[in-house]
Structure 1
Amino acid sequence: MQKRAARTRRTVLEAAADEFAERGYEGASLQGVAWRAATSIGALTFHFRNKTALAEEVRTAGSARFTVCLEELPPCVDPLRELRTLVGALVRLAHEDPFVRAARRLEADAPEDAPPLTEIWLPVLRTQLDRAHSARRLRPGVAPEDAVAMLSHLAEGAMAAHGAARGAARHTAWEAAWDSVWDVVLHGLAADGPERGPEGTASPDLAGTCPSTG
């Protein structure tokens, strides 16, 4: 019985993530979530008393996905490549994870106050830029705080655009565009210009891989 209840709760949460990601807080309904979960309103409200409680749980799950993503980032020797890995991982997460898309959508239109999602990943970005500055990898005249502002806006915009893009073809096209965008970013940030891969492509890729410090 407990296993069945846990399974139902998990199914409802997954359905709610899709519902909130697609329709936002105001547009989402318990009826819509129940339909997606192929369950009854009674079973849904047994686990979540109302839409607000359901939204809070989905948003908490989305925040946790961000935290796990940051914890799993591989270390890089070059802090600028580490920055690319970070932003690429955030963008990929927004594309692939409905809980993250839902959390971002709920942050924009849910009625309750909650800590901004940027509080999870922005300190990591700031630390990496401070490392780049200390290693003299930033172009002279580029202040770390200015770079933080620019890259945080880039990450937010990329997560919004890539999170809304569905389908493999759009995903592939976005990855190709991302390489060009990052080249422009590095041209403005790096003391020695963008790093190139062995065949002239930006390195590393959007997946967030980078050489380990071993």
Structure 2
Amino acid sequence: MVKQARAAVTRQALISAAAEVFGTDGYAMATLPAISSRAGVSSGALHFHFPNKEALAAAVESAAAESALALTEKSARAAKGGRLQALVAAVSRLMDAVADDPVVRAGFRLGADPSRKSEAKLHDWWYEWVRNALVQARRSGELAEDVSAEDAAVVVVAATLGLETLGATDRYWQSAERVSQLWSFALPRLSPAE
């Protein structure tokens, strides 16, 4: 049992270290020696858990997707005031995670990295989540009549992923102030006039 616990700790340390390295260097420039060094484990331990860099990147994306889903669902459930408010809360929590959680940040970066083909499709998941939230808002009468849930989802996802991308070099783009500016502009258009 002790070996299993130690293996789980080592695996998590490797995922965290890989997220930091992928997040700063990108997939192509990240090296397994840099990752194992950052995790404080031998290259043999790294290869015991992950046969190659792609397997490690896939594990980071998977961990990022799990975290992103958990935090968006939790914030949506906790939001008071309906589906649009739940969407606002989920976007805010996700942008906080992108700014503060290296695994979530790396997951989004890896999904858009042109040097590899992502299987996790974190961007696709985010689009579906936002679209479903807006479809539910439509059903509950919270979306303006002339607003398509599909069109609104495209705008919200493009804006949030844009903030995520811009925030890679300037964290201010991922700040609560920028997210608030997004909603100050978008909510009056999404919500019914009354």
Q: Which of 149, 153, 156 is the matching residue for 2:154?
A: 149
Of residues 43-52 and 19-28 in structure 1, the stretch that sits farther from structure 2 once superposed is: 43-52
Inter-CA distance 49–82: structure 2 relative to 1 (3 Å threshold): same
Distance in 2 of aligned mates of 1:12 and 1:133: 43
Greater RCO, CA 8 A, separation 6+: 1
Return the structure number with greater helix share.
2
Deviation of 1:27 (Å) = 0.5
- SS of aligned partner of 1:114: coil
Match of 1:85 in 2: 89
Match of 1:186 in 2: 187
- SS of aligned partner of 1:141: coil
Match of 1:107 in 2: 111
Distance in 1 of aligned mates of 2:144 and 2:136: 13
Match of 1:55 in 2: 57
Q: Where do 5+ consecutive residues of structure 2 fail to align?
A: none
Inter-CA distance 164–148: structure 2 relative to 1 (3 Å threshold): same
The within-5 A match list for 1:202-213 is: none
Deviation of 1:95 (Å) = 1.1
Match of 1:211 in 2: none
The within-5 A match list for 1:167-178 is: 170=172, 174-178=175-179
Q: Which of 29, 32, 36 is the matching residue for 1:27?
A: 29
Match of 2:71 in 1: 69
Q: Where do 5+ consecutive residues of structure 1 fail to align?
A: 194-214
Deviation of 1:164 (Å) = 4.9
Which has the greater radius of gyration? 1
Identical amino acids, percent of aligned pairs: 31
Inter-CA distance 191–105: structure 2 relative to 1 (3 Å threshold): same
Q: Which of 82, 101, 123 is the matching residue for 1:97?
A: 101
Q: Which amino acid in structure 1 is aligned with residue 82 of structure 2?
A: D
Distance in 2 of aligned mates of 1:71 and 1:78: 14
Q: What is the TM-score of this pair, normalised by structure 2? A: 0.83
Q: What is the TM-score of this pair, normalised by structure 1? A: 0.76
Q: Which amino acid in structure 2 is aligned with residue 23 of structure 1?
A: D
Distance in 1 of aligned mates of 2:65 and 2:111: 11
1:56-81 residue CA offsets vs partner (Å, 9 max, x unmatched): 21121111112212331224332221
Contact 1:58 1:103 survives alignment (8 Å): yes
Of residues 91-100 and 132-141 in structure 1, the stretch that sits farther from structure 2 once superposed is: 132-141
Contact 2:159 2:182 survives alignment (8 Å): no
Q: Which of 8, 15, 19 is the matching residue for 1:13?
A: 15
Q: CA RMSD in A?
A: 2.4
1:67-107 residue CA offsets vs partner (Å, 9 max, x unmatched): 21233122433222122112112211211211111111211
- SS of aligned partner of 1:72: helix
Q: Which amino acid in structure 1 is aligned with residue 147 of structure 2?
A: V
Count of aligned pairs between the two proteins: 189
Q: Aligned pair 1:116/2:117, yes or no?
A: no
